[in-house]
Chains A and B, each alone.
Chain A
Amino acid sequence: MKNLNRRTFLGRSLAAGAAASLPWFIPARALGRDGAVAPSEKIVLGGIGLGPRGQYDLSVMLPEKDVQFVAVCDAVRTRREEVKRMVDTHYGNADCVLYRDLFELIARPDIDAVLIATGDRWHALASLLAARAGKDVYSEKPCGMTIGEIQALADGIHRYGRVFQAGTQRRSVNNFQYAAHLAQSGQLGRLRTLHASVYVPTKSYEWLPAEPEPTKDQCDWDRWLGPAPWRPYNSRYVSGGWRGHHDFEAGGNFLDWGAHTLDLCQWANQADHTTPLEFEATPASIIGKYANGVTLVCDFLPTAFGNRDPQYHTATGTCPVRFEGDEGWVETGDNNLLVFSENLERTLHKKFSGTGLSSAGHGRNFFDCVRSRALPVCNQDIMRRSHLACFAAQLSWQLGRKIQFDPVKEEFIGDEEANRMRHRAMREPWSVNL
């Protein structure tokens, strides 16, 4: 007799039993094309502003057999060239075309879809320009700088009948899916509190000292700024140091994780069509209230990448969320590990493959929808509500007062200042009115 021993028997049978009944498990994709795909059948993909994160996204999209990446545009030469090296190495040719100007890229009729991973300031505008040129769009988050940009973006995607996926990939990662499923299916009892981890918000209006501008070929500063208001060049902005600056980063750092974690809470609460109605910042968190009575707690994590106990279980990984109901709770993060309240401990699934940072499944969902024209899991409307909730939460922190939000009119109730902060002017000649 092989493979049977009392040491291991109970653990294994439990795992096998649970795995068979995972209800959200979607079988092999119906329209996907494996094996050799004729060139005419391939989704032709272009890239806009692919830095480290964009190059990561691309690295998991390149192996998709029914996708062909053909061109990238970037205001920064070294970035363009890095992408070309990566793509040409993958395909074993020298065909990846480089552009400094995104209009040249989106004017190409052969390109079906674009991957956008610029800094925040360009996301909405580039997405809209691509949509108006008839391209489907996968955009990294945050997908816009303001509530106004998010509204214009979501409306514009509908306007041109495009497929849109926001880069909030955790909705396509197993352990997060399972945690949300537990909340949605009532296995935690009636939902009470949803915890979303976020960075401690920051906001800087300071500028870095002026440096001589490089040549346009090295870095086209005007194009790099794009719709952001002009300021003197400094190389640190270009090499990633734009983060934290009011004019360049959306929502004062809140959306970096909030766009993921708050989005997961929206999902768990089956609130994709709405947002919390009220937000109030405390020293440790921002607390939101949903119409269905569920409380949202956006916990500030002083050490987002270090020890997160006791707020969260450090072992579950970065970007954690916790869903609490009357009959139990579940917590999970990027390490594909789930932690449950004691009463659920013995019955539920604990470990999955995949990591919260991987966008492979999310990218595949996008490409499937490019073919089927179905709505991706983080489509423009789902993104709209979770991003608006993020901006509203962040504004309650920035303004230091309780604010109320009307998710239908998408405006703050009785707070003109907050309402004004929904919008910022774009530098001429840019406009999201496309």
Chain B
Amino acid sequence: MRYFMNLFARGLLLAAVACASLAAARAADAQADNTRKWVAVLQQPEASFYARARACQQLGEAGGPEAVPVLAALLADEHLSAYARGGLEGISGPAAAEALRQAVPALKGDRLAGVVNSLGVVRDAKSVGLLIALVNDPASGVAGEALSALGRIANDESIQVLRATLAKGPEPLRAQAAAACLIAAEKRLADGQAEQAIALYDAVRQSSLPPQFRAGATRGAILARKENGVPLLVEQLKSSDAALRNVALLTLREIPSDALASALNAAAQAATGELKNLILLALADCHNAQSLKVLADQSAQSDPAARKIALTALDRIGGPAETGVFLATVAANRSEEESAIALNALGRLPGAAVDERIARALAVATESGARIKLIHLVESRGMTNATVALLQMAAEPEVKVSVAALRALKSVAGRAELPALISLVKLCKAEDQRDAAENAVAGVVMRTSPKTLAGGEVVLAEFKQAADAEVKNSWARILIALGYPPALPDLRAALDDTREQFAASLATQLGHWPDPAPVEGLFEVARKSQRASLRRRALTSAIQLATAAAEEHQRPEETLAGWFQEAGRVAESVEERRLIISGLGRVKQAASFRLLAPYLNDPSLQTEAAIALLQIAPAAQAVEPEAWLAALERIAATANNAELRGQAAKLAAAIPRPPGLRPLFDGRTLAGWEGNSNVWRVRDGVVVGGSMAGNARNEFLATLRSYTNFVLRLEYKLIGAEGFVNGGVQFRSERLKQPENEMRGFQADIGAGYSGALYDESRRNRFLAQPPAEQIKRLEKPGDWNRYEVRCVGRRAQIRLNGELTVDYSEDDVTLPQSGLIGLQIHGGCQAEISFRNLTLETLP
């Protein structure tokens, strides 16, 4: 059976070999075809430069030797020569090399340099004689390139010339020869001829050439000597030449070995200053067991720079055995930086043995700075073996130590430590300390039993038992942080405690309950309590919990809305309402809009309301669009803060308008309007009427067209000094023949105390409807831009000032025209100027 398998396998192998040779033959055919095609391109006189360049490149990638002659013919071409050389370098082989050699005599300058470079690329040994001649001929202009090519060829003959030039050549060529020697040395080394490589490196490093050549050669000389290079390396570390010291530091990282590490250990101890530091740091990259001792020793020396570097290196290479060194650094408490390196290292060293040593160090530490650092370390390592020591320290009178220990216990203590921690809560007097103790109790309960909160019952028992208000408060805070449900009835009952301050503080604390469970109880207190501060704090906490519940989606939308509504009913002060508004801003639901919008009417809350409304913008899609738009326009017109106005305007602009909307003013000209051009003009994109120098009589700018049912929107600004500072907006009006400056019809009045009112101009000459003065005082911004909206449908006319309705009027007299011009007015008898902008008209059916 096995025999058969073998036969079978052999058959497969044979078949595979046959396939492979067939594939090779096909590939050769394809190459020959392609070569012919690309050669043909190069032979076509009319072929473009691009086509010939590409043909050369393709020949370089996949052409055969048949292409050599056509490529060689291009070597003198200024721009194609590089492409042709690419072709020849790719084809390589004897024919290509031969063609390159033959091209040399006829070329000069860059073309010659290129061909010499190519001879180096293909490492053509036959060109050595030719290249030597170019080196020796100062007129060739390519002696440097020829030296480089000789370096790549790197045979005995070429190396001889390189060394001779290095030793005795003309100045500029010596550096070139040095570079070529280094390249030749690399080739020899790669071929296993270390002796020759070393000779070349030594020749260059002993020359008087610029440092980078000597430094590079020194590196090569060290590496080529392998383990015998160590003394040479160490010698360089002591060199007075910075270039050689630097290259030794670099090289040692390439050949780490035990022998080198030993030498470095000695060198580090012998060196001083900057060099010492550099060697110490280098030990991180090349070290043995002894290096750890050297570094440990240095980490305790007097020079702070050396200490810091020794610690840095130890941090990289040290293990648990170095625990003592790092602990000693922490105990010495020298600089923050050193302690940080040591603590960082200690934080990462693995193993229970390290925990053990840290715990022991903590037990014997005396200086409080070091103790606190060690306590933090215990915490970050999550060490559970130091809880006894921590509990002792937690009870110490020194607050900083005690607090650190309590904080650590919060992370590392277990259920077993809970009784001790609970006693500490009772024991601690300083506020920070008690706070940390409370935190520790709560933290341990949450960590050890996040679901059932086992241990909460002990705290609750303490709470019930405690009589002292301060102590009772401690237990309450823990129960509240835990959100321990069985405690709620007792906490609620405690709100009725006769000690007012205690109850009030408890009400505030309940706002931190992790879910909204206490809300109803808090509302109850807020509604019923006679004590002002308790009432206020209970309400505040209820709003906080409702807000948090909204953010975390802990209750359905209707419940949340109900709570805020309830809060609104109970609220008495501006501060409480502000809290409600800010909470509503985080309830990104349509319901908040209805609760928020009314607050825009309250001058002391309108800014908060505007902010909140803008916050819920994404949810406002579900709000009635007209109401939402009105609120935005209101904010855009009236908010005190420019940013809010801008945001609202931007949101409003993004809301799609009804199709009938058109601008009445093009922003540049008074096209579509007529009026006295001495009075009415366009300035900075705004329609301006009247003058601060004085206005003798009424003047109107009227539309050429009449309108019936519409919504007219505009913004006005009226500034005035003396007289009856007034203007207005006519609608469903007409021009009078006599006096020709007047108009007759409805006017939405502006200024002189009549803004927002509806006046019947030059007809019945009386106010048809007038809003209360306080409303206008609240709404209008005198001397600034105000939004005006006039809505006319049938007999009904409504005026809105800054988003709020001021007039809702129905005309009883059916004989009056329900259609007419729109006109802008500046009143006579005043020094005043009126401006209008953003005039749009939405026609209605």
Contact = CB atoms under 8 A, between A and B. Distances in A.
Given A21-B380, A31-B277, A31-B281, A429 B113 contact: yes
A134 B246 CA distance: 12
B251 A20 contact: no
Contact of A420 (B90, B111, B183, B278): B90
A161 B483 contact: no
Contacts of A271: none
B526 to A, nearest CB: 22
A411 interface: no
Given A6-B446, A25-B344, A30-B281, A425 B82 contact: yes
A31 B183 contact: no
Given A5-B481, A31-B281, A428 B514 contact: no
B110 A132 contact: no
Nearest to A23: B348
Contacts of B114: 425, 427-429
A112 B416 CA distance: 62
Contacts of A230: 78-79, 82
A373 B382 contact: no
Interface stretch (A44-52, A152-160, A286-294): A152-160
Nearest to A29: B312
Contact of B281 (A23, A372, A425, A428): A372
Most chain A beta-carbon contacts within 10 A, residue among B57, B82, B243: B82
Nearest to B512: A5
Interface in A357-396: 371-375
A159 B442 CA distance: 64
B219 A158 contact: yes
Contacts of B344: 25, 27
Contact of B438 (A1, A159, A246, A373): A1
Given A27-B341, A417-B62, A434-B148, A374 B113 contact: no
Interface in B274-296: 277-278, 281-282, 284-285
Given A6-B483, A134-B210, A423-B90, A373 B278 contact: yes
A30 B450 CA distance: 43
B514 A374 contact: no
A210 B78 CA distance: 17
B212 A133 contact: yes
Interface in B517-552: 548, 552
Contacts of B438: 1, 4
Contacts, number: 198
Contact of B86 (A23, A25, A425, A429): A425
Contact of A423 (B89, B113, B148, B285): B89
Interface stretch (A7-15, A117-125, A191-199, A319-327): A7-15
A229 B281 contact: no
Contacts of A423: 89-90, 121
A192 to B, nearest CB: 26
Contacts of B186: 155, 159
B86 A229 contact: yes
A16 interface: yes
Given A423-B89, A433-B121, A132 B250 contact: no
Interface residues of B, number: 91
B790 to A, nearest CB: 48
Interface in A266-291: none
Given A4-B443, A161-B215, A431 B148 contact: yes
B211 A425 contact: no
A163 interface: yes
B634 interface: no
A90 interface: no
A6 B82 CA distance: 73
Nearest to A25: B344
A4 B442 contact: yes
A160 B86 contact: no
A413 interface: no
Interface in A46-91: none
A257 B320 CA distance: 40
Contact of B309 (A22, A30, A231): A30
Interface in A216-262: 229-231, 246
B219 A421 contact: no
B234 to A, nearest CB: 15
Contacts of A10: 446, 450
Contacts of B143: none
Given A23-B348, A229-B86, A417-B62, A207 B50 contact: yes
Contacts of B695: none
B411 A17 contact: yes
Interface in B195-220: 210-213, 215-216, 218-220
Interface of B: 50, 53-54, 57, 60-62, 78-79, 81-83, 85-86, 89-90, 110-111, 113-115, 117-118, 120-121, 145, 148-149, 151-152, 179, 182-183, 186, 210-213, 215-216, 218-220, 243, 246-247, 249-251, 253, 277-278, 281-282, 284-285, 308-309, 312-313, 315-316, 337, 340-341, 344-345, 347-348, 380-382, 411, 435, 438-439, 442-443, 446-447, 450, 474, 477-478, 481-483, 512, 514, 548, 552
12 contacts: A3-B439, A17-B411, A30-B312, A30-B313, A160-B212, A161-B218, A161-B219, A230-B79, A372-B282, A374-B253, A425-B60, A425-B83
